[in-house]
Amino acid sequence: MTASTRAPSRAALALALALAGGGAARAELVVLTDGAVLKVERFAARGERATLVFPGGGELELALERVERVVDDEIDPEAARPGAASAAPAQAFPIGFADGAPRPETPWSEAIFAAARRHGLNPALIAAVARVESAFDPRAVSSKGARGLMQLMPATGRRFGLRPHELFDPVKNLDAGTRYLAWLADRFEGDLARVLAGYHAGEGAVDRYGGVPPYRETRAYLRSVYARLGLSEGDSSAR
């Protein structure tokens, strides 16, 4: 059997990493569920399969469920310089659920509120992420294979007990996305910037950089969510 009909072996992944050594004007980082990070020239998701095209011309096809994240490998030079702002909002934001919290005035308001209360998060945060991720479209599918209201990859859905087709169920998608945000909030001790960066780029990237990665795409994502929450960037953490 070829790599296109079964999951690649570790040897195949090692070959892929070697092929990825060449430079490219634009690249993407593909994070696999086993922790491997592949630099590719192009990533394409089709159904339950994904094709990775490397700068040197090689290709690798694998199950989409093996892909945890795909992030543009474009560093913001300003964010990467020593002493750069942390990308955390200056104002304190209550990340946890509080008694008397209002229901968001958005589509799927009841499901958002129920998931937020169930997992102990501020409903406004869940609504802001859903708006930025999918504009509240439960059938949304990104070019990278993320699906539904909270734009979950199949690997993330599986992590929280969902099969790929269940990602299009808005209630289940919201619940899984909220559970993931709650897990990140616990892991990063309520630091909103790191929670959102983990949701977008993966907690491994946050660990590697010791905070918000300097990826231009991730930092733009944080700014978009902050704007929905009425926050601005600063240099102090949210709580």
- Residue among 28, 41, 68, 133 flagged as catalytic: 133
- For residue 159, the SS3 value is helix
Q: Which residues pair with 233 in a beta bridge?
A: 89
133 as an active site residue: the answer is yes
Q: How is residue 168 annotated by DSSP?
A: G
Sequence-ordered list of residues with C-beta below 8 angstroms from that of 51, at least 6 positions apart, any chain: 43, 44, 59, 60, 61
The helix (H) or strand (E) run that includes residue 64 is none
The helix (H) or strand (E) run that includes residue 89 is strand 88-89
Rounded to an integer, what distance in angstroms lies between the CA atom of residue 205 and that of residue 219?
13
Whether the CB-CB separation of 118 and 109 falls below 8 Å is answered with no
Whether the CB-CB separation of 73 and 29 falls below 8 Å is answered with yes
Q: Which residues pair with 46 in a beta bridge?
A: 49
Whether the CB-CB separation of 64 and 27 falls below 8 Å is answered with no
Active site positions, annotated: 133
